[in-house]
Structure 1
Amino acid sequence: MEFASEKKQELLSKIARSDRHGEHSLYFDGWKAYDKNPFHPTQNPDGVIQMGLAENQLCFDLIEEWIKNNPTASICTSEGVGKFKDVANFQDYHGLLEFRQAVAKFMGMVRRGKAAFDPDRIVMSGGATGASETLMFCLADPGDAFLVPSPYYPAFNRDIRWRTGVQIIPVECHSSNNFHVTLAQMESAYTKAIEANINVKGVILTNPSNPLGITLSRETLTSLLSFTSRNNLHMVCDEIYSASVFNSPAFTSISEVMQETECNPDLVHIIYSLSKDMGLPGLRVGIIYSYNDQVVNCARKMSSFGLVSSQSQHLLASMLSDEVFIEKFLEQSSRRLAKRHSRFVKGLEQDRIHCLEGNAGLFLWMDLRHLMKESTFDAEMKLWRVILEDVKLNVSPGSSFHCPEPGFFRVCFANMDDHTVEVALKRIREFVSKGNENGDDKKLLQKKHRQNLNLRLSFTSRKCDEGLMSPHQRMSPHSPVPHSPLVRART
């Protein structure tokens, strides 16, 4: 017996039928282009270079060296196999005590000892994606909302909204203020939401910022923490890039600010991960650190749905407890990120391309407004298509990050080797030079890029996401959702 497609759809849940995951997005075109034609220095030198992946591959050599020198840290070596039974057996969802102690200690080191963390408040999750969603389940009900400064991380639409039913209210920041969020902007957005009868539960800050690559000042954090406490709102700080700061000013954690600010600690929560700062996204280590006992207890129960492998916990407990190694790693990571960031900025400046002055993260916020025919999101998309299809660079358009102004692009710089960096900069240089030879850069934007007419141009409603896909990885052609980065790890 055959059923109408509508009837079949009704057999599924609302989540399965919904479009809130954000998978249908222009952002996918870049990933599909890369998947179909990935750059390789010798096998495919004309392929697409992946510059949309916020991944830190600059310090793998240090971790590999540590693993070789510490064979007992792994249960898969002859030296460490004696621990195999203990680690492989059932583990409580509280996590290994030595792992929680090591993570708490590491978080304190990253904050230069200005804040201490209690291992009993460390809650595990499957990456920052799982941590973010779990925290939302603890703090809000469907229909409740959080204020988020924009531009913001695209996958918040998935992590925060999709299964929880929570809303995101963008707090628009602008280039006139270098995209810094202000108390006045936050208060205005909050007032408008209340007037619209929206139940605002809190504020979500990403510090350091993805995609801007900047840190929030102590003054800004203090004013916003006072604002949330005064209005009985939750303060959620995503600090997954806290050890990826390579220039001044230094990183200031909300954990430091709350010690100096009159606030309700029950309303303060931190999201953390080892995916960025340690360059270990595949190990899926996400952390919730809450100062609220009820949140810790509830999140710990929910963590059963996304625990960190006990093998990963065992290895990382040993690695993170090695203070000499961690100090060396953090110093080297900062130095290498600074060097790579400087190389990209100087290379772009030679081509008259400027970026927001950044000091953290794995990316640049690139300003290409001068290359657009007009200041519209349609023009931004056309420029992006030229860069993707002709220049063969997968950078991320600002509209993907809910940027209120067209013409900005996020460029990731830490997920490639030095040779690929030079190839990317050379392609940009040739692109700009070609435009100059034609007497007008903007003539390049009038080319063939009008296919995909079914693409949505409603930028305010566009849901975007990023995936974690190493340059050498491919998604199986048998995947039910081919080439979809949304089913991969958060980046």
Structure 2
Amino acid sequence: MAASTTPKSCFEKVLSPPPPFLISQRAQGTLAFPTFSSQLADQLFNNLYDRDSNPKGVVQLALSINQLMEEEVLARVNQGHTLTLTPQHQYYNNSSGLLELRTALANFLTRHHKPSQAISPDNLIVMNGVTACFDALSHALCDPGDVVLTPTPVYARVYTNFRDRSGATVVPLPCPETDNFALQEGAMESLIKKHMEGGQRVRVCVLLHPHNPLGRIYSTQELQNILKLCAQYQIHVVIDEIYAFSVHDESTEFNSVLGMESVPDPDRTHVLWGFSKDFALPGFRIGVIHTTNPWVLSCLRTLSHYHSSPPLTQHAAATLLNDVEWCDDFYIPTNKERLAASYKKARECLEACGAKVHRSVAGIFLWVNFQAFLDECTEQCEIDLFMAFLKGGVCILPGQKLYCAHPGWYRIVYSARDDVLEEGLARIQAVLSQWKKNKKSETT
């Protein structure tokens, strides 16, 4: 099959250079670094599949949304006075988070992660989403040109969040396909030394735990080794635990950094969490940073004026966490059960098509290898197949947009509603079947 001329950045809007001084150099840098997932959303949100109202629309299996508990979450949020506006919510509040929510978060994280000492609300900063938390931490920790390391493949906004406004340089640590994408500590130390010897300051290491898109969890020993290595070189570690309560494998227990008895360098260890994924509430715009560093806390409290979350949604979120019977006894275990069932259904379907699926224990993604369907393992061939899926009415995410060093991998969200997932899997099957026929006809 001949390679198409589709450009790699097939959704990028090409703008002519702005007239001198019309916008800032920072703004020009932002325009020059578009986010692929945002471009997908702009292109597809007005034509999403709906079984009744838009059956020919595109099935969206690229954006990270969990719809499996949609009805249950809506029912609980709309119950009683959860979203009733009161004078407390009508006026200005603490921009770094209502004490009500920070206390509920501290209690929630303490009872689930079981640290030796209870988490303090004073060490929590609430902002309008984990993306905002990343942006604020990049401001607090990085100067322009500082190096931020992260294992790849990785959630692509890690690059945007540290580069866009703080001007840090995000450097990938490619995890080899041949080693099941494991993080190699020796390679990480070599990369640190390389940049330090080149005169750069390695400032931050970003870990996604559970991982996006791999769906893996680091062992306690792996985490300790990474934290010790970063402490040795005085590197901050930012751990994004946004899928901490979406571990769907019954034999796997999540080991939060917040539950460790001690960390090598507490002043350089910062943990993120939010409501978007585990509680299927991205519209609430609530993320949280845990840090014990007093200077970072002080800076974040100041920055929270730019990243505050609405008091009414904070109150609603606190209500969910404080309802232990609903939250701990019903919601979290039921969500995990549904994730496990959906993961199993999607994995079995894709493997029946001839794809290889990376084993996942957490999160809402399948990390899928379609290399067997490509003429060549190149980025362009990967995009060609992505465009074929899109033409066939289903959208998934090509691995190159997650900085994967090995073409042919794709991320597929399996936490869609049952009817949406089934339709999406059927369309993937149809595209792959037609793709095989086209390849066969070209070789005969």
Displacement, 1:269?
0.5
Q: What is the TM-score when the length of structure 1 is the normalising length? A: 0.82
2:433 maps to 1:429: no
Displacement, 1:47?
2.3
2:111 maps to 1:99: no
The letter for the 2-side match of 1:318 is: T
Taking the aligned partners of 2:89 and 2:424, their CA distance within structure 1 comes to 44
Alignment of 1:255-274 (within 5 A): 255-257=258-260, 259-261=261-263, 263-274=264-275
Q: Which has the higher mean CA deviation after the structures are superposed, 5-14 or 223-232? A: 5-14
Taking the aligned partners of 1:24 and 1:296, their CA distance within structure 2 comes to 29
Q: Secondary structure at the match of 2:19?
A: helix
Q: Which has the higher mean CA deviation after the structures are superposed, 167-176 or 104-113? A: 104-113
Taking the aligned partners of 1:98 and 1:49, their CA distance within structure 2 comes to 39
2:248 maps to 1:246: yes
Displacement, 1:435?
4.0
2:351 maps to 1:341: no
Taking the aligned partners of 2:182 and 2:259, their CA distance within structure 1 comes to 20
Distance 1:219 1:166, change over 3 A: same
CA deviations 1:433-489 (Å, max 9, x no partner) are: 33444563987xxxxxxxxxxxxxxxxxxxxxxxxxxxxxxxxxxxxxxxxxxxxxx
Query: Corresponding residue for 1:9?
Result: 20
Distance 1:141 1:101, change over 3 A: same
Alignment of 1:49-448 (within 5 A): 49-69=59-79, 71-76=80-85, 84-111=86-113, 116-247=118-249, 248-257=251-260, 259-261=261-263, 263-327=264-328, 328-389=330-391, 391-414=392-415, 416-437=416-437, 440=440
The letter for the 1-side match of 2:400 is: S
CA deviations 1:350-376 (Å, max 9, x no partner) are: 112121100111111010011110111
Contact 1:20 1:157 in 2 (8 A): no
Query: Corresponding residue for 1:459?
Result: none
CA deviations 1:111-133 (Å, max 9, x no partner) are: 25677321001101110111001
Taking the aligned partners of 1:249 and 1:436, their CA distance within structure 2 comes to 37
CA deviations 1:31-75 (Å, max 9, x no partner) are: 455246422213332321111110111112222332354x13332
Contact 2:147 2:203 in 1 (8 A): yes
Contact 2:125 2:289 in 1 (8 A): yes
Taking the aligned partners of 1:439 and 1:147, their CA distance within structure 2 comes to 40
Distance 1:128 1:94, change over 3 A: closer
Structure 2: gaps (5+ residues): 1-15
CA deviations 1:112-164 (Å, max 9, x no partner) are: 56773210011011101110010111111111111100111111222111011
Contact 2:272 2:290 in 1 (8 A): yes
Distance 1:106 1:45, change over 3 A: same
Distance 1:274 1:442, change over 3 A: farther
Distance 1:237 1:392, change over 3 A: same
2:44 maps to 1:34: yes
Q: Secondary structure at the match of 2:347?
A: helix
Q: What is the TM-score when the length of structure 2 is the normalising length? A: 0.90
Q: Secondary structure at the match of 2:161?
A: helix
Aligned length: 426
The letter for the 1-side match of 2:257 is: I
Contact 1:126 1:286 in 2 (8 A): yes
User: What RMSD, in angstroms, separates the aligned Cα atoms of the two structures?
Assistant: 2.2
The letter for the 1-side match of 2:299 is: C
Q: How many percent of aligned residue pairs carry the same amino acid? A: 28
